[in-house]
Structure 1
Amino acid sequence: MRNTRKRGQADRSALTRGVSAPGVAADNTDGGYNAGIAVFSYIVGGIIVWSLIGWGLDYLWGTRWIVLAGALLGAVGGFYLSHMHGLTSSRKNADERHAPSAPSQDGKDSAK
């Protein structure tokens, strides 16, 4: 079967969807569960990959500590990637301002 949509319409819809980081919706809101899974996979994936690299170097060089350094490097790299993709940023209200984290200046509670 042929696609009945015109090529221009498909190109425009791809542009309006936008491309974002894993776990983040196209309108830059947090993805909730998906963002958590993305952060978890970055960190665990980094630990596994860099631990295996460290294990291989330990095997070649006859040491024992590089695997631990690789695991630490993988965890730090996973946190860094998730932060750079905007998955660990603070929550925002619907009007794109940060949610209040302290009492207001006049001492009154801003909760509704």
Structure 2
Amino acid sequence: MRNPKKRGAAGNSNRAHGSSAPGVASENTDGGYNAGMAVFSYIIGGIIVWSLIGWGLDFLWGTRWIVLAGALLGAVGGFYLSHMHGLTSSRKNTGDRPAAGGPSQDGGTNAK
């Protein structure tokens, strides 16, 4: 029986500190590779699943176009899921305030 108070090699050797699940990037890294693989998986998985559904409906109904519509629907759905999970955004704000836009607020005293 394991001792739950003992922290040894078998306890948390495979987990990084601060990570809640395997494969999830910690706060110190940007997770670009993991995010890219997640986007790829969502899109390819959607294409495969919805193409198979379309193929089955084509077989049942004797048509030939539903498999293509299923592939397109799967690609759009995979991109939508990755966008909703925040994986496709390339903009990162530093801090809570985005960069200011428009004319300066100093009254033009720095103009030459």
TM interval, short-chain normalised: 0.5 to 0.7
Aligned match of 2:87: 87
The Cα shift of 1:94 comes to: 4.3
The structure that has the greater radius of gyration is 2
Q: How many percent of aligned residue pairs carry the same amino acid? A: 78
What is the alpha-carbon distance in structure 2 between the residues aligned to residue 36 and residue 4 of structure 1?
37
Q: How many residues matched?
A: 92
The answer on whether the counterparts of 1:48 and 1:71 sit within 8 Å (CA) in structure 2 is yes
The Cα shift of 1:2 comes to: 1.6
Q: Which structure: greater helix fraction?
A: 1
The answer on whether the counterparts of 2:45 and 2:78 sit within 8 Å (CA) in structure 1 is yes
Q: Deviation string for 1:13-61 (max 9, x for gaps)?
A: xxxx5769x976354x741001000000000000000000000100110
Give the TM-score taking structure 1 as reference length: 0.64
The answer on whether the counterparts of 1:23 and 1:38 sit within 8 Å (CA) in structure 2 is no
Gaps of 5+ in 1: 7-16, 107-112
Gaps of 5+ in 2: 7-17, 105-112
State the Cα RMSD in Å.
3.1
